Amino acid sequence: SYELTQPLSLSVAPGQTVTIICEGNNIANKNVHWYQQKSGQAPVLVFSTKSSHSSVIAERFSVSESGDTATLSISKAQVGDEADYYCQVWDSGTLVFGPGTKVTVL
Amino acid sequence: QVRLVESGGGLVKPGGSLRLSCVASGFTFSDFYMTWIRQAPGKGLEWLSYIGRSGGSISYADSVKGRFTISRDNAANSVYLQMSSLRVEDTAMYYCARVQLWSGDFWGQGIPVTVSS
């Protein structure tokens, strides 16, 4: 079965840029979806790499992919960006989520 | 606006059953696949199942195959998850979501399910 890996946690200073990596076999060939989940809330889709979806919060967010790596970058990080971030792809009839990355802004 | 509201969660004993419902509004329900996803306490997201627009395309995660059944009623704008033979490890927040390009583009707020004796 297809597997995705992400770093467990990252920290970033306010105003700086943080990049979250999601790794999977040939992930650049897939549509990678990124979700933000703030504490106590449902996940929100913030970006899809190969579609036009981007949420209203996405102007500081950007994505890229190459080979086995997809990334979500958050520029000018704000305290309000503190959340868990999950990548997700569709593979062989299933939705596959990465383990999530906790981003702390401090 | 798109709205998804789950119901039917609660406390159930191991081996018991529960039926979750998700009522949709704000979009043409029959135009979209729907999916269920769960999150155990302090853990990540786990996809469980999806169902096609007319109910003819269904898939399950191995962890719930044979125990959970997804269904939908387009006339009622609802998707369901019948859960049986519940285990302690099924304890989680359960979310329904609309499927768009194989992502969950809109999610409900979730409903907690606790399996405990």
The tens digit of pLDDT for each residue in A69-90 reads 999 999 999 999 999 999 999 9
CB nearest A95 (choices: B44, B102, B106): B102
What does the pLDDT read at residue B101? 85
What does the pLDDT read at residue A49? 76
B49 in Cβ contact with B60 (< 8 Å):
yes
Helix (H, G, I), strand (E, B) or coil at A81: helix
Antiparallel, parallel or unpaired: β B10-12 and A101-105: unpaired
Work out the widest C-alpha separation in chain A, in whole angstroms.
Answer: 40
Answer whether residue B29 shows pLDDT above 90: yes
What does the pLDDT read at residue A48? 80
Question: Average of pLDDT values for B14-43?
Answer: 98
Chain A residues 1-30 with CB within 8 Å of chain B: none
Q: Name the DSSP letter for residue B54.
A: T
What does the pLDDT read at residue A53? 55
CB contact (8 A) between residue A43 and residue B108: no
Antiparallel, parallel or unpaired: β B68-73 and A61-66: unpaired
In DSSP terms, A18 is beta-bridged to A74
Answer whether residue B24 shows pLDDT above 50: yes
Q: How far apart are CA B4 and CA B111, in angstroms?
A: 11
End-to-end CA distance of chain B: 40
Question: Average of pLDDT values for B56-76?
Answer: 97
Q: How far apart are CA A104 and CA A50, in angstroms?
A: 27
Answer whether residue B55 shows pLDDT above 50: yes
What does the pLDDT read at residue B56? 87
pLDDT interval class at B4 (50, 70, 90): very high
Average pLDDT, chain B: 97
The CB-based long-range contact list for B71-77 (8 Å cut-off, 24+ gap) reads: B72/B34, B74/B29, B74/B30, B76/B23, B77/B23, B77/B24, B77/B25, B77/B29
Answer whether residue B28 shows pLDDT above 70: yes
Question: Average of pLDDT values for B43-71?
Answer: 97
How distant is the Cα of A57 from the closest Cα of chain B, in angstroms?
Answer: 14
Question: Average of pLDDT values for B78-95?
Answer: 98
What does the pLDDT read at residue A56? 45
What does the pLDDT read at residue A51? 66
Reading phi first (left if > 0) and then psi (alpha if -120 to 50, else beta), residue A99 is in alpha
Q: How many CB atoms lie under 10 A from the CB of residue B93?
A: 19
Closest CA to A33 of A88, A70, A102: A88
Indicate the burial class of A36 (C-beta count within 10 angstroms; 0-12, 13-18, 19 or more).
buried
CB contact (8 A) between residue B101 and residue A97: no
| Residues of chain A falling short of pLDDT 50 | 56
How distant is the Cα of A85 from the closest Cα of chain B, in angstroms?
Answer: 10
Residues 6+ apart with CB under 8 A from A26: A67, A68
